[in-house]
Structure formats: structure tokens, C-alpha cells
Chain A
């Protein structure tokens, strides 16, 4: 089944403790992206990747890192999480950089930073 998977689905952590949220897709998509969703703010793009080893900032990249060492995986790293990073996070993928109209989204990761 074609899908985007995220792990973990739920995470509660403390301020300053490094964490990684994994994202994996099995569709051989070149394009991948991370979003966060907050009440009243809708979805905002954090980072995106056009292909392996190619990443760029979205609207709200501060406090986050990403890497794209292989096509199927695009982990989101929070080096020193803070409470304002409490949010619902979505990973998405699309076939190619010039074909990003149909993005497939993962089920979401709900992160709470205390």
C-alpha cells in the first residue's frame, strides 16, 4: 500500500531533550516536506526537500533541522525542543519537484513539550 508513515504518532517530552520524528514513504517520491499545524494558524511549512541531499526552508524553520540522506526518509530533528514547538506535525511527499500538486500526507505526530 502506498503510504507515508510517521513515528512516533504521539510524543511527550521535556524542554531541551533532543528528539527525532521519522518520516518514510514507499512511493519513490523525490519531494518531501514537513508541516506543523496549530489552532487558528492552519498548516505552516517547516522544511522541504526537492531530492536527496537537497533541502530548503519553509515558512517556520527556526528550531528545526532536517536531513535527506536517502530518498524514502526525511526525519525532522528538534535539537533543543521548547514548549512553543508543541504542535501537530505532518510529513508529506510528492512525485517530483515539478509535480508537487498532489502531496500525500502522513497521519500526523502530536508532540507535547513541557
Chain B
């Protein structure tokens, strides 16, 4: 099964961009890359997903390396509310099985 590797923790200042990296060197051609986040005492929340091309939505951007062995979640302007654990997840084939990475705990300083 393809696995992901993320830094355990990162820090950011409020109002600055944040780049959260994820390595997935054993990704297969049909695996989608998903990002979720989990705020304290809550269930995970969908952020963004992609396959090969970079993706943007109202919450974040996802940059995918050309060889697909890594990706980066970009929060354009971090707010205190963005402090959470961010999970980089691979969709294992099309069967719905999600493989979670360890997650990166993002702290945002005022």
C-alpha cells in the first residue's frame, strides 16, 4: 500500500503563506492525493484533492510534483483558525480505501 510522509509539526505566522509538504514516493498511477485537516476536538474536514494537475479552491491550493512523488498544500494567508493537524491521504485505487499519513500539526502565531 502506498504511504505518505509528512513533517510532524510546522509553525507559521498569521497572515503569511504556509507550505505543507507530503512525500508519497510509492504512489500508483490511479491514486488521488487528498488533504484533510482536523481542528481540536473535531472530526476531520475535507480541504482539497487532485490527481496530476495543480488545484485551487477557496480554502487552499495543491501543488503536485510532475513525477507525483510529492505534493504541497498551500494556505495563502494563515489565520489562527487554520491551526490544526493536516493529513495528506492517498486514495487507494478507486475502491474508497483511504490511507492516512501521520499528519502535520500546524501552529499559527499571532
Residue numbers of A with Cβ under 8 A of B are 4, 31, 33, 35, 41-45, 48, 50, 56, 58-59, 90, 92, 94, 97-98, 100-108
Contact = CB atoms under 8 A, between A and B. Distances in A.
Interface stretch (B20-28, B72-80, B91-99): B91-99
Given A100-B91, A105-B44, 14 more contacts: A42-B87, A43-B87, A45-B99, A45-B100, A59-B1, A90-B43, A92-B44, A97-B94, A101-B34, A101-B49, A101-B91, A103-B36, A105-B43, A107-B43
Interface in B28-64: 32, 34, 36, 42-46, 49
B46 A43 contact: no
Nearest to A4: B43
Given A56-B95, A107-B43, A108-B43, A42 B100 contact: yes
Nearest to B51: A101
B42 A107 contact: yes
Nearest to B47: A102
Contact of A45 (B98, B101, B103): B98
Interface residues of B, number: 22
A59 B42 contact: no
B94 A98 contact: yes
Nearest to B48: A101
Contacts of A104: 46
B43 A31 contact: no
B99 A59 contact: yes
A100 B90 CA distance: 12
The 4 tightest CB contacts between A and B, nearest first, are A105-B43, A101-B49, A102-B46, A43-B100
Contacts of A45: 97-100
Contact of B44 (A31, A43, A44): A43
A99 to B, nearest CB: 10
B102 interface: yes
Contacts of B1: 59
B49 A42 contact: no
